[in-house]
Amino acid sequence: MPKQNLAIARLWYEANSFTPMRTGLAEFQAREWVSGDAARAFYAGTATEIGGVLAVEADYPDWKFHYLHCTAAPPGGLIKTAAASEIMRLILEGLLGDAWDAVYLSLHGATAAVDDPTPELHLLQKVRNIIGTTPLGVSFDLHANLGAQTVALIDATSGYHTYPHVDMHLAAQRTLRILIDKAEGHAQPQIAVAKLPAILPSFNMRTAEGPMAEMQQLAEDWRKRPGIRDVTIYGGFAYGDSPFAGPSVVVVADGDAKLARQAADALAQELATRRDRFYVSLPDPAEGLRRALAAKGTGPAIVLDPADNPLSGGIGDTPGLFRALLETARPARTAFGFFWDPPLVAQCHRLGVGATLHAKLGGRVTLDFGAPVEVDAKIVKLTDGRFRNEGPYEHQLPVDVGRTVLLDVNGIQVVVTESCQTPNDPAYFRLHGIDPERLDLLCVKAKNHFRAAFSAMARCLIDVDAPGPAAASLAQYKFRHAPQGLYRGKSSA
């Protein structure tokens, strides 16, 4: 008997609607832009969705897995129109190339383009037009902005159950099991979605503690019930201006639409009772540094600047935390990651290690979040910016941040890069000759994903509230596509 054919494709991107930056094909091609055997080699052994599919391929001997176009870029601004069109064209052309018994897509759920706030919905509509009633499975990021229109197009789904997202591969595998059971006639998935009319910032959305940890436990109780195939709590992406903005609960039940609806509505109500606990108040950079340096224990004190976290659409350019660091009496072993400044990197690579220069750090992309900090610096190390993640987040995924330079600025080790990517992995710092575990103070433009690899080594982790495109307060952002009146904290109620 011939094997059944499974098509696999990927478009993973989280778009911040309020950053001045735009993302083109180059950013996708620099991170993930593979298909066929190249996709197999690229994702093998990685804790990503496609890595998860590869890991269980042998469990389905009656199926032939076809890796079509797979692409992802680091989160950033809206995707340029031509880039979004080209990516969708490649995925759709791949689907037109054969007859499929099932289709799996790895999507994010918070992708947006310059002229389209819901490109994933439109992609799914076009996929459905091509494949007809063929079973379609889709996995999503925990920060997906999902609505009933999107869910109605798919037959099998799951999303990340963890934040930091260390179960990307498992989300794909959960989706795949439901999808293949559907295709083989062993299951009749019924999917329900329930929305909470609010936009929740993700600062207090970690699944190890707080309100989202409680929600995950309630979701797990439902997952154990007979007939439930999956329950995913989606926090939504607060900086994505979408008609589907806000958190949601998606439940998959086997053959029982009423059970799926019951679970989704019950969990949405539980989420509503915890709504205000997701809104937090953070110290300013000076106070955050003071608290960090006063913390007792061993390991580095770590101060995070989430408002300029590239994984939330930050631009690697805001100077607030660095300016406060320069004005603080600090320990000898202090590092700062990072500034995004390709012209400065190019200049340093021309000058070479050991040279000194006068430089401006931050305020290059926009002055909206503060003026540049003028410094005298020494070039300590130059790199090609390439490494593999060693921590649990996107474990073993190859990373290329472009050329980099390590500067010494008044005793602070400062990383400057050619591309805007969050320093979420210890390998990022080791590339520059920095052992993060031996630092006294580490300041980073990052947020919760950073904690996956660094929490165990840190004596404290403190988020600060500095000006930036992904700040804690949502009142400053002007939403055009999100439904009017969504709750954004007590000040906006």
pLDDT band with cut points at 50, 70 and 90 for residue 313: confident
pLDDT of residue 478: 92
Q: Distance (Å, rounded) from C-alpha 473 to C-alpha 124? A: 33
Region 392-406: what's the mean pLDDT? 94
Q: Which helix (H) or strand (E) holds 214?
A: helix 210-223
Task: Return the residue matching tokens 């913390």.
Answer: 295
Q: What is the pLDDT of residue 491?
A: 58
pLDDT tens digits, 112-164:
999 999 999 999 999 999 999 999 999 999 999 999 999 999 999 999 999 99
The string of DSSP codes covering 21-83 is: -EE-HHHHHHHEEE-HHHHHHHHTT-SSHHHHHHHHGGG-TTEEEEEEEEEE--SBSEEPHHH
Kindly tell me if the per-residue pLDDT of 471 is higher than 90: no
Residue 285 binned pLDDT confidence (cut-offs 50, 70, 90): very high
Mean pLDDT computed over every residue of the chain = 96
In the numeric block, which tokens belong to residue 409? 């600025």
Tell me phi and psi for residue 360, to 5 degrees: -110, 125
Among 14-23, 218-227, 249-258, 284-293, the range scoring the smallest mean pLDDT is: 14-23
| Residue 358 confidence class, pLDDT cut points 50, 70, 90 | very high
Residues 59-93 have pLDDT tens digits of 999 999 999 999 999 999 999 999 999 999 999 99
Mean pLDDT calculated for residue range 21-49? 96
* Amino acid in position 299: G
Q: What is the pLDDT of residue 13?
A: 98
Average of per-residue pLDDT across 284-292: 98
Rounded to two decimals, the pTM is 0.89
